[in-house]
Structure 1
Amino acid sequence: MCGIVGGVSQTDLVPMILEGLRRLEYRGYDSAGLAMLQALPGQLPTLERVRSVGRVAELTAAAEARAIQGLLGIGHTRWATHGGVAECNAHPMISQEHIAVVHNGIIENFHALRQRLEQAGYVFTSETDTEVIAHLVHFYRQSAPDLLTAVRQTVAELQGAYAIAVLSRTDPEQLCVARMGCPLLLGIADDGHYFASDVAALLPVTRRVLYLEDGDVALLERDSLVITDQAGLPQHRAEHWSELSAAAVDLGPYRHFMQKEIHEQPRALADTLEGALNSQLNLTDLWGTQAPEIFKDVDSVLFLASGTSHYATLVGRQWLESIAGIPAQTELGHEYRYRDSIPNPRQLIVTLSQSGETLDTFEALKRAKELGHEYTLSICNVAESAIPRASALRFLTRAGPEIGVASTKAFTTQLAALYLLAISLAKAQGRLDADAQAGHLDALRQLPGSVQHALNLEPQIQGWAARFAGKEHALFLGRGLHYPIALEGALKLKEISYIHAEAYPAGELKHGPLALVDSNMPVVVIAPNDRLLEKVAANMQEVHARGGELYVFTDADSHFSASEGIHVLRLPRHTGLLSPVVHVIPVQLLAYHAALVKGTDVDRPRNLAKAVTVE
């Protein structure tokens, strides 16, 4: 949610900030802005700000119209929380024409801070929680010896989650940043120092990055960088070379990032599985040095995740119990952290997050650790993010950057990781002999090819999508391993086409949802050729008998045939336990093409954000 970028350099930073904001658009936003210090000979620099409601393209036009320049600046894309979508609520926030602040996150005690600042004479021009930060920095800077001290004094009073950047007319060669609970990294280049909420925003200027930790406060100057904690004690953060290429975050020949990412899934799966296949399921190489010992002792698994990642865990739970014989549960992170739960020291806590910064999931992990859980594992797509750093074990899905808000390749690579977890736990506990291991690895080796076969069905799915675009409601059905795929299909359709969609286990039809079925509600059925096929067929007849129109995704070796009111699309031959990975492809394509017909903003659906870093 939201994005921030900026820096201090020896060249004009406006183009870099605007390009960085463009690369952060995927995070979700409704307004954007930037603030620059423009030098004046022998005087304090001027503080220039430009903001706009809408896209970064509008901000770019406004900045060009005013010919804004500067060697030190900050930029922001805002996703509204406190206060509506209006220019007065867009960042940066300014105090007394001296301090400018951009902020990701939520300040929970802003009401009390605002009241105190108003009593001190500060006038608020927005409804945001961020404005209190700007005024607090101004208040403390009047007596503090430098900007870094003023920012440290400010963040000591903030409760909640934040990543902030601050500039001051009084300190024209310095920029200060701080982090607590929201992602923030620094970039090092020959011509200056930079910051951003995502490495993608820094790629045009550098690949040398430092990842800040919670509680860090950093002072950036053109030729120097200082990192301290809130008490002022120096902190060291290791430098990393980002392997992310600029091409990886470019659209290329595709119409949308979502389309690109759907088609990248065979490669993403192959990259994610490569280590397991090459090492023949070496537990230490895959999961970490403590994995053999931890996995051997585990007696149950608890998955914590949100959104699409939660649906992945619903599949993973069944794989774990089927393959490893280990009891598994799955919970939404934002529910787990607020309920009373009974800790089990031998339970493995598994968190899933594409970004590794999902606040609900991160807070749930912290809650589990507070309860005494030491066996923790993170499955994540961003190596240096907060959740894997807080976990004893980690597995990196090699999906590459996922820009589209609606997750696709992150979901399928999470499924691949969960399958690897199931067979790894089975191996660690002596429940996987050599022949079974070879069979599972061979099935995984063939998975990218099966996914590519499913992608080849895109032209037929386009025809189905044209029928969906005029509908207001849709129903998705699945059973067993494929009920979570029905959930994911309904979510994708809702997210990007704005068609209301619900998913049910097919056996639940007669317990209520059947009342909704008529000729105006398309019913999508995930019907692979598994042991539940005949049960699903009976559920389909219940729909057909009531005039419902069926859209059935099945396998090449099933006996279904199309007829009036029943549309059938055949995927590759049934892929056994890995079938959910293949069957999610057509529901992703269905949602994408339905959205195209409707003309919605596929990559940036309304009201949603990619990285959910607020509660």
Structure 2
Amino acid sequence: MCGIVGYIGDRDCADVLVNSLEKLEYRGYDSAGIAVLENGVIKVEKCKGRLENLRNKMAADGKPYGHVGIGHTRWATHGEPSDINSHPHGNKRVTIVHNGIIENYRQIKEFLISEGYSFVSETDTETVAKLLDYYYTGDPVDTIIKVLAEIKGSYALGIMFRDFPDRIFAVRKDSPLIVGKGEHENFIASDVPAIMQYTRDYYLLDTNDIAVLTKENIEFFNIHKERLEKKLNTADWDVDAAEKGGYEHFMLKEINEQPTAVKTTITPRITDSMPDFSAEGFDAAKLSSYNKIYIVACGTAMHAGMVGKYVIEKLARIPVIVDIASEFRYRDPLIDKEDLVILISQSGETADTKAALELAKLNGADTLAIVNVKGSSIARAADMVVYTHAGPEISVASTKAYMVQISVMYLLAFELAYGTGRISKEQCEKYTKELQNIPSVIKEAIGLEKDCQFIASKLLNADSLLYIGRGLDYASSMEGSLKLKEISYIHSESYAAGELKHGTISLITENMPVIAVVTQKDLEEKTISNIKEVKARGAMVILVCGEDVVVEDKVADYIIRLPKAEQMLMPMVAAVPLQLIAYYTAVLKGNDVDKPRNLAKSVTVE
């Protein structure tokens, strides 16, 4: 949700904090702020709005100067976006930044008020700052341990104590936080890109690990104040991967990175034209023995799961249930030790998906995580992990993460189908070779950019539109609709084309845009029939279809022909123009493509 950073070293702290926050602004941009220890006093600068507002404020007021500090960029949960609700929070003795939600903050607040404390903000974070002050008796680690015993919820905290001007403190539970190790300087951050301009080396914090940073040293403690040894990791991304690289927006850059991301993800899992997950330690026989499979995810990742469901059921004939993670545990799902639960999450920190994983393990099911971030909470908790090698995805609207998630689902489907004897080795090799060719087809689809710009110009004045498709094309239409609505702010919904006549067709008005996806040959005739139904009622039809789809005159107003690929793999091809249409519609409307309103990249609270 929010992004936090911290620095201790010899550099100008304010500059480091703001530069690092810039790399985390995709996590929230309702407000921003920093706290710097200057001449024994904790100086705070913060304000509502984008990070640029904070820069302008400090340019006018004068930035705090020092070598120790913490910073925050906010996605509002408790309390509206405002200067007062902006982080950091605290008082003269203790100041903190926080990512997460404190579930019992009301009880804590009532207690602290009874003890004489007053509050100025509406945030849950201020209660933690005041509770730290309440328990503080001169030992920061003891104080933090006492507070951890009181608070409930999710948190990643960066903490400064005025009495300890040469240290910063950090702790996490459920919300991501790393500790960066540099030369005569050290860092905390919500994500690796924030510190990559300074160091590639970092530690991962486990639940309630407490980190104490000086400029020369990093120490770790558990909640019993016992020292811990942590493994030092090294980020293997190029620094340029977290920068725009000449593109106008991260989203466009990441669309163009999809061929490479897919190739990088699938290549290590293919040997002699066959799926090979031996590096992940999978037992192929076990993988094919489950009674049923659950795929649990949120948003775009859930749409990747929908593709996985179609392909696994078609090829392996194993029942697959796709669940929205936020609903999964509340319907008391029928899972047991004979089932496999697949969790899909780009960040590996999605709160609802983590909760689903915990429920699955509690019921004895095996769990398999498909995540992009190494060492993330979901990756560490799952029984099996497949890392997608997409590199950093900065734009809030997911593109390449979706594509690599689908590519993993295909490989798993091929492995399952071969393992259960539903397809022969020759068929498995054929499908795998077709998948290996997909990066070049995706690149060809990116060449449809000009056509997509033109289509985008036809959507600018739309108040609402529909996406329709059948089978795998329905899954594609769901993702296309989500992409458009989240960055263009045009209301759009996706429907299984055959469901139109059960009510939705009543929404069709003159010139209302309907984007139809037709790539599945066995469903082509029926979907074209549905398109004719909306066209007869005045819709402006935009058809995204395979190159061999037969389209009669006046069935569609505009047609985007996709490059040829194996029919089963067409969702990976169709995704590209749907992403580009959404992107250029948002650009033409003048929206902030990478930071759409009200959204954050990683949803680390329920």
Q: Is 1:295 aligned with 2:287?
A: yes
CA displacement at 1:232 relative to structure 2: 1.5
**Shift in Å, 1:154:** 1.1
Does residue 205 (structure 1) correspond to residue 198 (structure 2)? The answer is: yes
Q: Deviations over 1:132-189 (max 9, x none)?
A: 1111111111x2x411111111122110000001101111112111100000000111
Map of 2:101 onto structure 1: 106
Aligned to 2:229: 236
Q: Secondary structure of 2:393's match?
A: coil
1:370 alignment partner, one of 359, 362, 372: 362
Partner of 2:4: 4
Match of 1:508 in 2: 499
Q: Secondary structure at the match of 2:199?
A: coil
Contact 1:557/1:574, CA 8 A, preserved across alignment? no
Select which of 536, 551, 559 maps to 1:560: 551
Deviation at 1:293, TM superposition (A): 4.5
- Partners of 1:237 and 1:68 lie apart in 2 by 33
- Give the drift of 1:217: 1.3
**Would you say the 8 A contact 1:528–1:574 is kept in 2?**
no
Could you tell me how far 1:343 is from its partner in structure 2? 2.4
Q: Distance in 2 between matches of 1:321 and 1:404?
A: 32
Q: CA deviation at 1:15?
A: 1.3
**Counterpart in the other structure of 1:89:** 85
Q: Given that residues 295 and 429 in structure 1 are in contact (C-alpha distance below 8 angstroms), is that contact kept between their aligned partners in structure 2?
A: no
**1:560–1:568 CA contact under 8 A, matched in 2:** no
Cα displacement (A) at 1:342: 2.1
Indicate if the aligned counterparts of 1:562 and 1:568 stay in contact, CA closer than 8 A: no
Structure 1 residues 339 and 233: alpha-carbon distance in aligned structure 2, compared to 1, 3 A threshold:
farther
TM-score when scaled to structure 1? 0.96
How do 1:26-45 residues align onto structure 2 when only pairs under 5 Å count?
A: 26-39=26-39, 45=40
What's the secondary structure of 1:349's corresponding residue? strand
- How has the CA–CA distance of structure 1 residues 463 and 561 changed in structure 2, closer, same or farther, with 3 Å as cutoff? farther
Deviation at 1:276, TM superposition (A): 2.4
TM-score normalized by the length of structure 2: 0.98
What residue is the counterpart of 2:375 in the other structure? 384
The yes-or-no answer on 1:320 pairing with 2:312 is yes
Aligned match of 1:42: none
Query: Secondary structure of the residue that 2:119 maps to in structure 1?
Result: coil
Q: Which amino acid aligns with 2:310?
A: Q
Q: Equivalents in 1 of 2:358, 2:255: separation in Å?
A: 33
Matched, 1:527 2:518: yes
Which of 166, 177, 181 matches 2:159? 166
> Equivalent residue for 1:492?
483
Which amino acid counterpart does residue 274 of structure 1 have in structure 2?
T
Does the 8 A contact of 2:275 with 2:411 survive in 1?
A: no
Matched, 1:137 2:132: yes
Change (3 A) 1:280 1:291: farther
Q: How does 1:24-423 map to 2 (within 5 A)?
A: 24-39=24-39, 45-65=40-60, 66-95=62-91, 97-141=92-136, 143=137, 145-278=138-271, 280-281=273-274, 283-286=276-279, 288-373=280-365, 375-423=366-414
CA distances 1:59-106 after superposition (whole Å, capped 9, x unpaired): 1222344132111100000111111111000000022x2211000000
Whole-angstrom distance in 1 between the partners of 2:565 and 2:211: 54
Task: Choose the corresponding residue for 1:475, options 454, 460, 466.
Answer: 466
Q: State the Cα deviation string for residues 325-360 of structure 1 (Å, max 9, x = none).
A: 211111111111222222221211100000000011
Question: Do 1:333 and 1:364's aligned partners in 2 also have CA atoms closer than 8 Å?
Answer: yes
| The one of 534, 549, 553 aligned to 2:540 | 549
Quick one: distance in 1 between partners of 2:43 and 2:503? Answer: 59
Shift of 1:614: 0.7
Task: For residue 278 of structure 1, report the CA deviation from its aligned partner.
Answer: 4.1
Provide the identity percentage: 38
2:270–2:276 CA contact under 8 A, matched in 1: no
Q: Is the 8 A contact 2:186 2:213 kept in 1?
A: yes
Q: How does 1:430-469 map to 2 (within 5 A)?
A: 430-469=421-460
Describe the superposition over 1:467-492 as per-residue Cα deviations: whole angstroms up to 9, x where unpaired: 10111101000100110111111111
Counterparts of 2:154 and 2:38, CA distance in 1:
31
State the secondary structure of the residue aligned to 1:87.
coil
SS at match of 2:34: strand
Give the whole-Å Cα distance in 2 for the aligned partners of 1:491 and 1:290: 33
In the alignment, the residues of structure 2 paired with residue 197 and residue 246 of structure 1 have an alpha-carbon distance, to the nearest angstrom, of 17
Q: Displacement of 1:283 after TM fit?
A: 3.8
**What secondary structure sits across from 1:88 in the alignment?**
coil
**1:315 shift after superposition:** 1.0
Post-superposition shift, 1:574? 4.7
Secondary structure at 1:75 match in 2: strand
Change in 2 beyond 3 A, CA 1:236/1:279: farther
Cα pair 2:274 2:429 within 8 Å, conserved: no
CA distance 1:360–1:341, shift in 2 (3 Å)? same
Say whether the 8 Å CA contact 1:99–1:134 is kept in structure 2: yes
CA distance, structure 2, for counterparts of residue 107 and residue 290 of structure 1:
38
1:238-274 deviation per Cα after TM superposition (whole angstroms, max 9, x unaligned): 1111112210011111110111111111111111111
Counterpart residue identity of residue 272, structure 1: T
Aligned counterparts of 1:197 and 1:80: Cα–Cα separation in 2 = 16
- The one-letter code sitting in structure 2 at the alignment partner of 1:153 is K
Structure 1 runs, 4 residues or longer, greater than 4 Å off: none
Residues in 2 aligned to 1:499 and 1:492: alpha-carbon distance in whole angstroms: 10
Looking at structure 1, the residues matched to 420 and 241 of structure 2 have their Cα atoms a distance apart, in angstroms, of: 39
Amino acid at match of 2:456: A
- Structure 1 distance, partners of 2:306, 2:181, is 41
Matching residue's letter, 2:291: D
Residues 94 and 133 of structure 2 are in contact (CA less than 8 Å); yes or no, is this contact kept in structure 1? yes
**Per-residue Cα deviation, 1:399-418 (whole angstroms, up to 9, x for no partner):** 11111101111101110000
Q: Name the counterpart of 1:585.
A: 576
On the 8 A contact 2:14/2:69 being kept in 1, the answer is yes
CA drift of 1:220 comes to 1.1
Partner of 1:594: 585
Give the Cα separation in 1 of the matches to 2:51 and 2:75: 13
- In 1: Cα distance, 2:229 partner to 2:63 partner: 38
Matched residue count:
605
**Counterparts of 2:286 and 2:194, CA distance in 1:** 38
* 3-state SS in 1 of match to 2:32: strand
The C-alpha deviation readout for 1:356-409, integer Å capped at 9, x for no partner, is 000110111011111122x11000111111111111111111111111101111
Q: Match of 1:173, SS?
A: coil
Q: Any idea what the Cα deviations from partners look like across 1:514-553, whole Å, max 9, x if unmatched? A: 1011124100000115110000110011011111110001
Cα distance, 1:282 vs structure 2: 5.4
Q: Could you tell me how far apart the structure 1 residues matched to 2:473 and 2:272 are? A: 30
- Asked whether the equivalents of residues 496 and 595 of structure 1 are also in contact (C-alpha less than 8 Å), the reply is yes
Asked if 2 retains the 8 angstrom alpha-carbon contact of 1:5 and 1:197, the reply is yes
Relative to structure 1, the CA distance from residue 294 to residue 483 in structure 2 (aligned partners, 3 Å threshold; closer, same or farther) is: same
Aligned-residue CA RMSD in angstroms? 1.4
Change (3 A) 1:512 1:282: closer
How far does residue 584 in structure 1 lie from its aligned partner after superposition?
1.1
**SS of residue in 2 equivalent to 1:337:** helix
Equivalent-residue separation in structure 2 for 1:108 and 1:152 (angstroms):
18
Deviations 1:3-37 (A, max 9, x none): 00012112322111111000001112210000000
Q: 1:168 and 1:279, CA in 2 relative to 1: closer, same or farther beyond 3 A? A: farther
Q: 1:234: how far off?
A: 2.2
Q: Which moved more, 1:158-167 or 1:528-537?
A: 528-537
SS at match of 1:474: strand
Distance apart, 1:565 and its partner CA: 5.7
Contact 2:273 2:433 in 1 (8 A): no
